[in-house]
Amino acid sequence: MPLDHLWATWRSAYVGRVVDTRELPDPTEAAGRSLFERILAAADEEGDEATGVLWRGEVCFALINRYPYTSGHLMVLPNRAVADLEDLTEEEHTELWAAVRDAVVALKAAFSCDAVNVGLNLGPAAGGSQSEHLHVHCVPRWEGDANFMSVAAETRVLPISLDEAAARIRAAWPT
């Protein structure tokens, strides 16, 4: 069966902005920084809404996933790139898990989902594409959301835009 193409051209602009260091005032600033550290730095310049930042704490933040499994898929992560849970500071650990709890509350309120998957991939062998910067995925789920499109057509249907999903989550985030 040939692979069908579903164009999502907005991804190119997003990836280009956070990966292409030529657009930074000082391209050497990106050296050694993780993708998520660069996104957070871009948010300082462009604003949280423009970069998908949903919430900021003292040492952690939440980010809408630009490549979601389903509408509302977000990630909670420390500000600094740290690969392993055991390398988090006590402050990062405490704030990270409190923010994961708040993210679940926000997802349930924003999307009336039936459940939420929470998980992380630690290390390259676990399947994470950004393994140098741990991040906790929070994915809203609904009864019956695993339909034929993913299985038969290898396609995900996202009924809510990223901007709308982010706005809903920000509005529902516990203060």
CB–CB of 170/100 below 8 Å? Answer: no
In order of 7, 83, 103, 115, 141, the CA distances from 136 in angstroms are 27, 12, 10, 16, 16
- Catalytic residue flag (residue 5): no
Distance linking the first and last C-alpha atoms of the chain: 49
Between the alpha carbon of residue 92 and those of residues 30, 81, 89, 97, 131, the distances in Å are 23, 11, 5, 9, 17
Alpha-carbon torsion angle 116, 144, 68, 125, nearest 10: 70
Catalytic residue among 73, 133, 135, 137: 135
Which residue numbers are catalytic? Answer: 135
